[in-house]
Amino acid sequence: MNIEVRYYSRGGNTKKIALAIAKAVGVEAKTVSEPLTEDVDILFLGSAPYAFDVDDEVKKFISGIGVSVGKAVNFSTSAAVKSTRKYIEKLFAEKKIPVADDEFSCRGAFAMLHKDRPNENDQKAAAEFAKKIIS
């Protein structure tokens, strides 16, 4: 099974979760600046909402996918919005890539909100989530 983990992280919150997921599934987490170069069974994609959308780098990554992807699995961090799923689901639909029903989201620190998040417990929960997805 070919598994890839990609993420976009401005403040480091989503990167922490991406690293936990990648370690749990035995692959390297890479930023969305690195395109997929071969077919993928499961793509874990992490992002955070910015101004009620995902960053243009995430959009560029998804629109640039030129390989087969069995399914995308969303994960996200945010200080306010629960998930980025609704933003990325539409982008993946345009590429005819299914998005898994299950997703992982947790709080992320922003200014004085949710200080020290994602924490160790969030990272452990993300790892367990990833293991469940690939089993």
Domain locations in the chain?
Answer: 3-123
Cβ-based burial of 79 (10 A; exposed 0-12, middle 13-18, buried ≥19): middle
pLDDT at 115: 75
Query: Helices 120-134 & 13-25, crossing angle to 10 degrees?
Result: 40
Q: What is the rounded CA–CA span in Å between residue 44 and residue 19? A: 11
Mean pLDDT of 108-123: 78
Q: Would you say residue 110 has pLDDT above 70?
A: no
Q: In the predicted model, what is the mean pLDDT of the chain?
A: 92
Q: What is the rounded CA–CA span in Å between residue 113 and residue 96? A: 36
Q: Which CATH superfamily is domain 3-123 in?
A: Flavodoxin domain (3.40.50.360)
pLDDT 10s digits, 34-87: 999 999 999 999 999 877 789 999 999 999 999 999 999 999 998 766 788 999
Q: What is the rounded CA–CA span in Å between residue 64 and residue 2? A: 19
pLDDT at 69: 98
